[in-house]
Chain A
Amino acid sequence: MTKKAANSVRITERSLFYWILRRHRSSQLFLLLIIVVSLFFKVYPLEMQKRIINEAINLKDLELLYLYCGLYIGAVVIAGLLKYVTNVLQVYMGQKILVEMREELYSHVLQLPLQFYRKMQPGTVISAMTAELNAIGFFLGGAIAIPITSVLTFAVFLAFMINLNPLLAMLSMVIYPFELVVIPYLQNKYNKLNKERVRTTRKMANVVNESISGIQEIHGNTSYELEEKKLLIFVDKLYKLMKKLFLVKYGIKFANNFFQSLGPFILFLVGGYMAINGQFTLGALVAFLSAYEKVYDPWKELIEYYQSYQDAHIRYAQIMKIFDLDPPHLMLPPPEREAYSFEGNIRLQNVSYIVGEGVRLLEDINLEIKKNEQIALVGFSGSGKSTLALLIAQLYDSSQGTITIDGHDIEDLCKRDIGSNVAMIAQQPFIFTGTIADNLLYGVQAVTDASATVSRKQIHAVVRAVGLEDDVIRFGLQAILTPDQCAPCREKFLRMRQIVQTSLRDEFAQAIEFYDVDNYLRYSTIRDNIVFGDSMEQEFAVSRLPDHHQFMDLLVREKLEKPLITLGFAIAKQTVDLLADFQDDEFFFRDNPMEMKEFTSYSELLDRLKGPQPKDAGERKLLLILALRYIPEKHSIVSLPSALEKKILSARHSFLKTIVMVDIEQCKTTGSGASIVPIFSEVGSFIPFCPSEYLYTRSLRENILFGAVKSEQILVEHLRELASKAFADEQLLDEILAIGLGFEVGSKGDRLSGGQKQKLAIARAFLKDAPILIMDEATASLDNTSQARIQELLETDFRGNKTVIAVIHRLDLTPAYDRIVVLKAGRITEQGTYDELMDKKGDFYGLATAES
C-alpha cells in the first residue's frame, strides 16, 4: 500500500513489460553481460572442431590434438556454467518480479469496492491470484534475457557460417522465411483456443467453489446430479478445447521439427558436393554442420519465447481486465496530515443510492445525527436501513447527495480516517483464522501501527462486557499447556487446585475423585491407578505398557499380571457376548474398555482362546490392554475383585518408588511448594499425580480439578460458579482468561458457535473504541440475555461518548434509543422518540403492532 506513489501508473493499466523493465535493472544488466561473454564460449568449440579435423588429425599431430581437445572441453564447460548462472538468475528475477506483482495486485484487489465483490465469483479471483500469476512468473525471468541471447547467438553463429562459406550460409537460411509465416499463423490459432481455455477453467472453478460453499444445501436437496450436470458442461467444453489445443500445439512442433531437418538435407547435398569437388574442407563442413545445428537452437528458443510471451500476455491481460477498477478512496491520509479524530457529528443531505439500471435503494435521505446521539434505524426488510448504515461507514458510496462527518465530505476521506473513527459490526461478521486474541485485536491493529497499544486489562474488560468471558474461560480450561506456556502462571494454577482441594473440598468431592497416592481411584483406569502419572513422551501409554519391560516385571513381581489378564478376558467375553448384535453402534461402547472398531478382533481372539490365560504374548497383550483401560465405576460390564484393589495400590507404590523414583511421602504433602520432580522441565520426564506437580499432559481443567470426574452434571450445574467466584476473589481468573484468548478459532471461526462469533465481533468493535459505532443487526443472533447485556452497555458505558447507529429488527429494543428513524422503500418516513412515534400511530406504530 505504502509503496504506491501517487504518480505511478494504475496497476491494471500497466503492460507486462512495465514490471520487467522497471525492476532489477542492475541484475538485468549483469545478466546481459554474462550472456555476451557466454557467446564467445559457445562459438569457440566450433572453431576447435574445425581445427581438430583440419590441423590435428590431418597433420597427425597428437600434441595439437590434446591442446585443441583441452581448449574445446574447457570452452564447453565454461559455456555450460554460464548457462547455469543465466538460468538461475532468470528464475530468481522472475520470482522477485512475481512477488512484487502479487503483493501490489493483492493490495489493489483488497481495496476494490464491495460492489465489485457482489458480482465477482471468489473462484475467479483465487485462480487469477494463484495459478495464473504463477504461469506468468515463469515467463517474467527470461522476458528480456531470452530474446537477446537468442538473437545474439543466432547472429554470431550466422556470422561464423558466413565466414566459413557465404553460399552455404545463405542456402541454409532459405527455410527461415517460411517458418516466419507458418508458425505465427498456427500460434494465433493456439492463442484463441488458449484464451477460451482460461475462461472455461475459471468458470469450472467457480462451479466447484460454489458447490463446496453450498455443500449443505446440496446434501439437503440431494441435488448431486444437478450439480454434476452443471460441472459436466464445462468439463465437456474443456475436453473439446484441449483436443483442439493440442492438435495445434503439436502442429507447431511438427512444423518446427520439419524445418529443422530440412537444413541438414540441403547442407549435405550442397556441402557434400562441394567437399567431393574439393571446394570445401572436411573440417569446415563438420564445423558448419555443428554451427547449423547450433543456430537452430536460438531460433527454436525464439519461437518458444514467442509462444510463452503470447501465453503470458493473454493471462496477464485477462487478470488485469478482471481487476480493472479504481479503488474509490485513498488508503492513507495525504502526507501533510494525520488521520482525523472525529467527534461524531454526521449529516446526510439529499443522499440517494442507485444500483444497476436505476433501481433506487435509497432516495433523498436527509438526516442529521449529533455527536453521542444513539439512533435506531428501523423498517421493513428491504427498506434500505442496512444500506444506509453501510453508506455512513463508507462501505458503499452514495450515488447522489453528500454525507459529512464533522463537516468533512465522506467522499474525500481516506479509508484510514474512517477506520480510526468508525467501528462497524456486521450482522454476519467474519471471523479470521487465528486465536481469539488475534480476532479481538484485528480492528485495533488495522488502524494503529504498534500492536501493543491495548492492555490485557482492556481486552479482558471488553470480553467480560460482551458476555464472552465464560466461553473464553472454558477454552482456557481446555488448553493443554507446555511447560513454557505454563511457567509464568504455574503457581497460580496450583493455587486454584489448592482452593478446590481445601476450601471447596466438600463440595467438589461430590463430583471429583481426587488423586491421592494412598487411595484406589475407582473413577480412573487401572493404568492410572498403577502408573499414577504421565510421562511427557508417552512412555507409559496403555498401548505401550505391555511391551515395557520394567512395567511388566513389576506386574509379575506384584502378582498382578495373571489377575489383570483374567480381568481383560472377562471384559472381552462379557462384551462380545452382550454386544454381538450391537457391534455397529458406537453408543454401546461408550462405557466399555473395548472400542467399537476392536470388537471383531476381540471376538476372533475369544474364538481362538481355550482359557483366560493364553500362552501367546500377543494375545496376552490384547487382554492386558482391556484391563488397563478398565474404570470400575464407569465400566459396569464387570466388577473389580476387591482383592485386586489392594494389589494395585501396592503396585503403584512400588512403581513410583522403583521405576520412576518418586518420593511417596512427598507426594502426600498437600499444598503448593516446589515441585518434587527435580527435572520436571526436561522433556521426557515423569510427572506423578502429586499435589505439587503441574500435569503437562493434561488440560488446565484437569490440573485444577486434580482428579477423575465422577459427575459432569454436578460439576457444570453447581460447582463451576462456585469455583469461578473463589478464583475471582483471588484474581486467578484472569490467567485462565488470558490462556483462553489463545484459543485457535479455526477457519472462518468454525470452532465457535454462532453466538460466540457474534460476541467476538462485537468485542472486536468495542475494543477499537471509535467515536462512531455502527451496528447492523449486530445482536440479532444472540440469545435474549446476551442481547440485553449489550443493550445495557450502550445505555451506560457508551451513553454520552459514542455516536451509535443501530439497524434494528426487534422493535422492543428501540425505546432505549434517543431517536428512531423509520425507513420505508428507501425513504425516511418518520423519526422521533419511541413514545412520539407510538403516539403518532404512523409507520412505526404499524410495525410495532404487527410485531406484537
Chain B
Amino acid sequence: MDSPQQSPDIEQVEQLVDIQELFNRSFIFSGAPGGVTKLFAYLAKRETYTKGEVILEEGKPCDRCFIITSGEVDIYQHYNDRRFHLQLLTTGSLNYFGELALLSEFKWFFSARAWTDVTLLSISREAFIKVMERYPESYQNTVKKIINLRINRFVDQSEYLMANIAPDAWREDPPEL
C-alpha cells in the first residue's frame, strides 16, 4: 500500500505533517512515538482569536490544553478585584498553556486572553485520554513531562512575581531568640 505511485499529492497531507512537526518539537510530545504525535496532530483543533479576546476564563471548567502557533497570549489572574499579569506567552519555548487539563478535571485557576491576534492548536482531554489508552507505555513519560512543564512554568511565574513584588513582602531571617 505504501508504493510511491499511491501517495496522494504532497500538498494535501502537508497540514498534518506541519502540525506533527510542531508537536515533535514541543516539549510534551517530543520523543513520543511517531504514531502518537501524528494522532495528536490529527485530533488537534485550530483556534483563532483576535487581539483582546478572552481564550479561557478563571472558574470555568477546563477541558483542553493549548499550543500557540502564532501571536502572544496574556496569562493573568484576578486577586482582590484586580487583574494580575502573570506571564506573556509566545511561540518560543513556553508556547503552551492549560497542560494540566490533560490530566485532571478542575476549574481554570487563571485566565488567558489574546495579546495580539493569536492562532492556537488545542487538544482536548478526551482526545488525550483516548490516545493514551492505546499507548500506555507513552503515558507515564508524558505525565512526567507535563509535571516538569508545570514546574518550569511555576519557576517562571514565581521569578516574575518576585521581581515585581511589593517591598514589604520581602523578609529577613526570623529573629533569633
Which A residues form the contact surface with B (CB < 8 A)?
510, 566-567, 569-570, 573-574, 578, 581-582, 585, 587-588, 591, 606-607, 609-612, 633, 636-641, 711
Contacts and interface: CB of A to CB of B under 8 A. Distances in A.
A641 B9 contact: yes
A573 B19 CA distance: 18
B51 to A, nearest CB: 12
A637 B16 contact: yes
Contacts of B7: 573
A636 B13 contact: no
Interface of B: 1, 5-9, 11-16, 19, 38-39, 41-44, 46-47, 50, 53, 126-127, 130, 134
11 contacts: A510-B50, A566-B8, A567-B8, A573-B8, A591-B43, A609-B6, A610-B5, A612-B8, A636-B16, A637-B16, A638-B8
Contacts of A587: 126-127, 130
A574 B14 CA distance: 11
A297 to B, nearest CB: 76
Interface SS, B side: helix
Contacts of B1: 573, 606-607
B124 to A, nearest CB: 10
B50 A638 contact: no
Q: Which 10 pairs, one residue from A and one from B, show the smallest C-beta to C-beta distance?
A: A570-B8, A639-B15, A638-B12, A570-B12, A641-B11, A587-B130, A611-B5, A569-B8, A638-B13, A639-B14
Contacts of B46: 633, 636
B50 to A, nearest CB: 7
Contacts of A591: 43
B9 A566 contact: yes
A248 to B, nearest CB: 64
Nearest to B7: A573
B6 A610 contact: yes
Given A581-B134, A607-B1, A636-B42, A574 B6 contact: no
A591 B124 CA distance: 13
Contacts of A566: 8-9, 12
Contacts of B47: 711
Interface core residue of B12, B19, B50, B127 (most chain A CB under 10 Å)? B12
Contact of A578 (B5, B19, B42, B134): B42
Contacts of B11: 639, 641
Contacts of B53: 510
A633 B41 CA distance: 14
B149 to A, nearest CB: 24
A638 B126 contact: no
A638 B9 CA distance: 10
Contact of A637 (B6, B42, B50, B130): B42
A640 B8 CA distance: 12
Contact of B44 (A578, A582, A612, A636): A636
A574 B134 contact: no
A477 to B, nearest CB: 24
Contacts of A640: 12
A574 B16 contact: yes
Given A609-B6, A610-B5, A610-B6, A582 B134 contact: yes
Contacts of B42: 578, 588, 636-637
Given A567-B12, A578-B42, A582-B134, 15 more contacts: A569-B8, A573-B6, A573-B8, A574-B16, A578-B38, A578-B39, A585-B130, A588-B130, A610-B5, A611-B6, A636-B46, A637-B42, A638-B8, A640-B12, A641-B12
B6 A612 contact: yes
Contacts of A578: 38-39, 42
A569 B5 CA distance: 12
A573 to B, nearest CB: 6
Between B8, B53, B126, B130, the greatest number of chain A beta carbons within 10 A of the residue's beta carbon is seen for B8
A588 B38 CA distance: 13
A636 B19 contact: yes
A588 B35 CA distance: 14
Contacts of B127: 587
B55 to A, nearest CB: 11
Contacts of B6: 573, 609-612
A792 B100 CA distance: 42
A711 B53 CA distance: 14
A335 B38 CA distance: 82
Choose among B7, B11, B39, B42 the residue with the greatest number of A CB atoms under 10 Å from its CB: B42
A582 B127 CA distance: 12
Given A587-B126, A610-B6, A638 B134 contact: no
Contacts of A607: 1
Contact of A570 (B13, B50, B126, B130): B13
A636 B45 CA distance: 8
Contacts of B8: 566-567, 569-570, 573-574, 612, 638
A639 B12 contact: yes
Nearest to A569: B8
Contacts of B39: 578, 582
Contacts of A581: 134
A638 B16 contact: yes
Contacts of B43: 588, 591
A760 to B, nearest CB: 28
Among B6, B14, B53: residue with most chain A CB under 10 A: B6
